[in-house]
Amino acid sequence: MSGAAETAARTGRSPWYAADLFSYTRRQSREVIVGGLGFGGTNPIRIQSMITSDTMDTEACVREILRLVEVGCEMVRITAPTVKDAANLKNIRAELNARGCLVPLVADIHFKPEAAMEAAQWVEKVRINPGNFADSKKFNVREYSDDQYAEELGRIRERFGPLVRLCQERGVAMRIGTNHGSLSDRIMNRFGDSPLGMVESALEFARIARDLGYHQFVFSMKASNPKVMIGAYRLLVARLNDEGEDWNYPIHLGVTEAGDGEDGRIKSAIGIGSLLADGIGDTIRVSLTEDSEHEIPVARALVSLIPQKESALPVSVIKPTWSLFDYQRRSSERLLLEGITQPIALGGSETVAVVVPRRVDLAVAHKRAALGDYQPELILEDLTLAEVDPRSVDEIKEVNACSVPRLITVRDGVSLEPIAAFRLLAAQVDTRHPILLKDTLTSHRNEGGEFLDYLLSSAMVLGSLLSDGIGDAILLRSEEAPGQSLRLAYNILQAAGVRIFKTDYVACPSCGRTLFNLQETTARIKASTSHLKGVRIAVMGCIVNGPGEMADADFGYVGGAPGKVNLYVGKQAVKFNIPEGDAVDRLVDLIKEHNKWVEPTA
């Protein structure tokens, strides 16, 4: 049993987050109105974004908001780090109204309850972070008695209650948005740096709001690690289900600090897409380290990929054999297969392998040395596969009757969505059999599609299953271009955290708090460090999430003041107030000091 499941069992709460893991049903939530726009209930999944302009620059903010609305953004978030910034939201709202733009605005609040009180007078929604609304994170280690813990909650109620009353009076909605990187010391010391801690942090604030009769709020559980994010949202929904029917608040989805380019889109598809496929999510934001309007087409494409096919079986009696909340890889037995250039081991604790159709291997064979780590490892047509329809009792029995492990997969043409099909397979076949995952159950893709669609659909399917712990090899066929399909397959493995073969970057999207140009800086850091296989580097515009998110990173580059950068090792700041022009070189020096540096090859 997973840690989250054990906790749920101890508290008498169910570990289930969905009625049926094998067919799509959207979670039923109450409707929350934000400036006349409905979220949850029977409303479509809403798409939102956040501007990067300085909140004090009214004209720049208005221009960026209008560009977002033009490409389909339905709600816009603006940072309000100070009371002065929050007061200028009045001018931004007025100027938008004068131009006929009524898009709801959300004030993003960290650290400053007084800024939230000011912002709530001018916007339609306020986002607060339970980890820093009434707490300052100092990474203190202490034990809290029950009385001390209750005293802390009383202090939070005193700080949070006035905002709840003001929002209630003015009809302003709220997002109670937990970030993995900014859990309070109180939560960290009682629940740990975990999905459970993220959920408990949000529920503490929700109970205060409910006690005051306020229900116009939504939840979010954001993290840069898709597996942590997925586990936190699932656990949140399970806890809400068991709290009672009237805890059916809408859910906002997002992977924070996803990064840029293909990697940022893949990571977002794994985290957001897998939860949408489970029926979770009423509004989404794709966080890219790019101009904000680039986020909207990705978000819209993800919503369009929500599965529509339902299982043809009454599968409610079938139980999952994988962990629902904490990542644990499905336990299969080891198989040794003849690879393209060397033997390849599958299953057990072996890395997840990449399988390709023969045509892909033939197309890249002449440039194999130039492919580096993007190597095809197994040829599909040479594998001895057990291909089954997971709805067939007889076929499942036949596979389970084998006393030796076999590589199994779902047969092409099965009329199920791939995620449901492979879950159904994993739930019924003996765990000794390794599983080959496919991103599509058709052998050829439909012509005329865009690469973005194939990238997102493949990442959503394969990433979701890998995050479940299912899969010992993957076959990607939605993208037919040989080199592109290989790169995509490996990047999905990297983003899912199951096979690290290159430098991993955690880069936040820019906002008004950012203290340097994130896009340019991220590009410069990548140019200097992208050859460092397996090193994880965080690039953060400010300290809101920086120290916490860097618990998973080896090194961090964080804006400390205008034009100044702090460098971190893990979550510990070690270099302070470095001039921005020198900071990338100093980061390289820091990596060398900790023996993580290798010289790039020609």
Q: Is the confidence at residue 45, as pLDDT, over 80?
A: yes
The CA distance from 87 to 253, in Å, is: 28
Per-residue model confidence (pLDDT) at position 438: 97
Report how far residue 602's alpha carbon sits from residue 600's, in angstroms, rounded to the nearest whole number.
Answer: 7
Token readout for 313 is 């079986």
Span 226-274, pLDDT tens digits: 998 999 999 999 999 989 999 999 999 998 765 667 888 999 999 999 9
* pLDDT score at 208: 97
Mean pLDDT of the chain: 87
Q: Of 569, 552, 588, which Cα lies nearest the Cα of 267?
A: 552
Give one DSSP letter per residue of 455-513, joined into a string: HHHHHHHHHHHHHTT--SEEE--S--SHHHHHHHHHHHHHHTTS---S-EEEEPPP-TT
Pick the range with the lowest mean pLDDT from 332-341, 566-575, 585-594.
Answer: 566-575
To 10 degrees, the CA torsion angle through 159, 162, 166, 171?
A: 70
**What pLDDT is attached to residue 12?**
39
Residue with tokens 């060398």: 592
pLDDT for residue 530: 82
Residue 492 structure tokens: 């999905």
Q: Residue 317: what pLDDT?
A: 62
**What is the mean pLDDT of the segment spanning 472-491?**
92
Q: How far apart are CA 180 and CA 193, in angstroms?
A: 8
3-state SS track over 111-177: CCHHHHHHHCCCCCEEEECCCCCCCCCCCCCCCCCHHHHHHHHHHHHHHHHHHHHHHHHHCCEEEEE
Between 23 and 544, residue with greater pLDDT: 23
Confidence of residue 499 (pLDDT cuts 50, 70, 90): confident
- Distance separating alpha carbons of residues 523 and 216, to the nearest angstrom: 40
Q: In this structure, what are the phi and psi dihedrals at residue 386, rounded to the nearest 5 degrees? A: -95, 105
pLDDT band for position 87 (cuts 50, 70, 90):
very high
Confidence of residue 10 (pLDDT cuts 50, 70, 90): very low
Q: Is the dihedral of CA 129, 130, 136, 141 positive or negative?
A: negative
Instruction: Give the confidence band of 101 by pLDDT, cuts at 50, 70, 90.
Output: very high
What end-to-end distance do the CA atoms of the chain give, in Å?
48
241: its two tokens: 């289900």
Pairing relation of β-strands 75-79 and 105-109? parallel
State the Cα–Cα distance between residues 240 and 199, nearest whole angstrom: 10
Q: Which helix (H) or strand (E) holds 69?
A: helix 58-70
Q: Does residue 501 or residue 336 have the better pLDDT?
A: 336
SS3 179: strand
Report helix angle 518-529 to 580-593, nearest 10: 30
Convert the pLDDT of each residue in 150-169 to its tens digit: 888 899 999 999 999 999 99
- Determine contact, residues 433/332, Cβ cutoff 8 Å: yes
Share of the chain above pLDDT 90, in %: 56
Q: How confident is the model at residue 8 (pLDDT cuts 50, 70, 90)?
A: very low
Looking at residue 448, what is its pLDDT?
A: 59
485/538: higher pLDDT: 485
Whole-number Å distance between alpha carbons of 80 and 77: 10
Sheet holding 572-579, edge to edge: 504-507, 536-540, 555-561, 564-569, 572-579
Contact assessment for residue 232 and residue 178, using Cβ atoms and an 8 Å cutoff: yes
Q: How many C-beta atoms lie closer than 10 Å to residue 53's C-beta?
A: 21
More confident call, 203 vs 587: 203
Residue 549 is predicted with a pLDDT of 56
CA nearest to 304, candidates 454, 166, 422: 454
**pLDDT at res. 6:** 45
- pLDDT computed for residue 170 by the predictor: 97
DSSP state of 245: G
pLDDT digits (tens, 9 = 90+) for 268-314: 999 999 999 999 999 999 988 788 899 999 999 999 998 765 544 55
pLDDT tens readout for residues 525-573 = 888 888 888 788 888 766 655 555 565 778 888 877 777 888 888 878 8
State whether the Cα torsion 539-125-273-315 is positive or negative.
positive
Which has the closest alpha carbon to 224: 466, 455, 559, 537?
537
